[in-house]
Every structure is written in C-alpha cells, then in structure tokens.
Amino acid sequence: MSDLTEERSGTLSEAMERGHLFAEACPSRDVLKHLTSRWGLLVMIALLSGTHRFSELRRKINGVSERMLSQSLQWLEEDGMIDRVSYPVVPPHVEYSLTPMGREAAEKVRALADWIEVSMPRIDAVWAEKRRKAD
C-alpha cells in the first residue's frame, strides 16, 4: 500500500462501488463535466478573481464564442456554482460571480489547472524522450 491519505481518509474514491462517479447515469457526472469542460474550467478560474460581466469574461477567456460562454455559464448556474445578477437597464448589465460552493469547486479546478501549467515542461520532456526513442 501507499500513504496514509488512502487508508485514513480515502474512503471516498476508494469505495468505488459506492461513489456516484462510478455509477453510470449519475448527475455528479454532469457536474464534473461542466466544471472540467473546455470553457467551464476557464470560467470558474476567471471568476475566482471576482465578479465579471459577460463581455469581460469574453475578453478574458481568449477564443470563447458567445454561444459557448453563454452555455457554460448556464450549466454552472444550474449546478449552483455561479450567481447571475441581471440589472434591468439599457444597455443590459449582467454580473456573474461564484457562489460559496462554486468557489470551493473553482479552487479544486484551479489546483488541477495550475499543476498542469507548472508540469508542462516535464510532460514535454516525456514527449521529447519518446520521439527520440522512436528514431
């Protein structure tokens, strides 16, 4: 066996039979999907720095289309991760922010994203090594 993490408190992932994620048609799959989706992940991380308007998110998240930004925001709002506040003015003014629960999720998501960022050099090295062997 390995470290304590599993034996002491790792009853969640360890007990796969009981975990929702290992069940086939489970709503937790959808939540995970929204959080880790192409744009959902970036939305969550972006909102960690505070409330944003739609257009602010659009500018900040380079490459996202209006369609997908809107879609991602709706998913995450339905999951209770994001608060959407619309001010009935002209022109429209809508603000998005993380709920307390959303902030917790966003921090987990960011931990994963940050790990990948800092680990990319190592991963690149793996790829380079494989290419070298392939020759």
**Dist CA 127 CA 119 (whole Å):** 13
Q: Which is nearer to its own copies, 89 or 113 (CB)?
A: 113
Which strand (E) or helix (H) includes residue 94?
Answer: strand 93-98
The distance of closest approach from Cβ of residue 83 to its own copies in the complex, given in angstroms and rounded to an integer, is: 11
Number of other CB atoms surrounding residue 17 within 10 Å: 7
Angle between helices 40-47 and 100-134 (to 10 degrees): 130
Residue 116 engages its own copies in binding (rule: CB under 8 A): yes
Alpha helices in the chain, H assignment, sequence order: 4-9, 11-14, 27-36, 40-47, 54-60, 66-78, 100-134
Residue 86 engages its own copies in binding (rule: CB under 8 A): no
51 makes contact, choosing from DNA, its own copies, none, with CB < 5 to 8 Å by partner type, with: none
The distance of closest approach from Cβ of residue 128 to DNA in the complex, given in angstroms and rounded to an integer, is: 22
Q: Which is nearer to DNA, 1 or 25 (CB)?
A: 25
For residues 45 and 113, the answer to whether their CB atoms sit within 8 Å is yes
The contact set with its own copies (CB under 8 A) reads 1-2, 5-6, 10, 12-14, 16-17, 19-24, 27-29, 31-32, 35-36, 38, 41-42, 45-46, 48-50, 60-63, 78-80, 101, 104-105, 107-120, 122-124, 126-127, 130
